[in-house]
Amino acid sequence: MEEKNIQEEGSCCNCMDEKLEKELDEILEKYTNSKDNLIQILNEVQIKYGYIPQIAQRKISEYLGIPMAEIYGVITFYSRFTLKPKGKYAISVCLGTACFVKGSEKIMERLKQRLNISEGETTPDGKFSIDATRCVGACGIAPVFTVNGEVYGKATVKKLDEVLDSLQ
């Protein structure tokens, strides 16, 4: 079940919002208000913040004249876009065919158990997040998981534990 309500960006004071709004305006200024620019803009926001804050969705909606529900549809369709900030260490476990038959599901289970969160979630301290990915193009060393893009091949539960311990 997907999460109810988009998580508010971790700010409690207006000045943070204002700063964010200003930055978003600067991003939007670079594009014309053609609906075709939606994915480009989302991509830029995703890269800058590591997720698409709700305020960004609202501003993009106003700027491009696209209803928020449609933007939300695009964000949730592409796995590249996320609604929550990723952890400091973004861990992805490949569940593609090769990794899967080599037992990557066990790695995923262990990861979820250790961090006490589900796929697509971030630990409350913001340190770790878990994602399931499809093929990362490293089938030869399956199963694999990645930490901030760095690939760990021929993974085992033991190896995962070691990596996690080193990141603490």
- Considering beta carbons, is residue 6 or 135 the nearer one to another protein? 6
- Which position among 77, 124, 149, 150 is part of the footprint of another protein (CB under 8 A)? 77
Q: Does 1 participate in binding another protein (rule CB under 8 A)? A: yes
DSSP result, 104-137 = HHHHHHHHHHHHT--TT-B-TTSSEEEEEES--S
The span from the CA of 86 to the CA of 7, in Å, is: 12
Binding piece for another protein, criterion CB under 8 A, among 72-80, 87-95, 111-119, 135-143: 72-80
Strands (E), 24-158: 89-94, 128-133, 145-147, 150-152
The span from the CA of 94 to the CA of 105, in Å, is: 9
Per-residue x/- mask for another protein, residues 42 to 71, rule CB under 8 A?
------------x--xx-------xxxxxx
Q: How many angstroms separate the Cα of 156 from the Cα of each of 83, 95, 160?
A: 30, 14, 6
Cβ 4 to another protein shortest distance, Å: 6
Binding piece for another protein, criterion CB under 8 A, among 4-12, 23-31, 86-94, 145-153: 4-12
- Considering beta carbons, is residue 4 or 158 the nearer one to another protein? 4
The span from the CA of 99 to the CA of 155, in Å, is: 9
Per-residue x/- mask for another protein, residues 82 to 121, rule CB under 8 A?
-x--------------------------------------
The span from the CA of 47 to the CA of 81, in Å, is: 9
Cβ 149 to another protein shortest distance, Å: 23
- Residue numbers of the site for another protein (CB under 8 A)? 1-6, 54, 57-58, 66-73, 76-77, 83
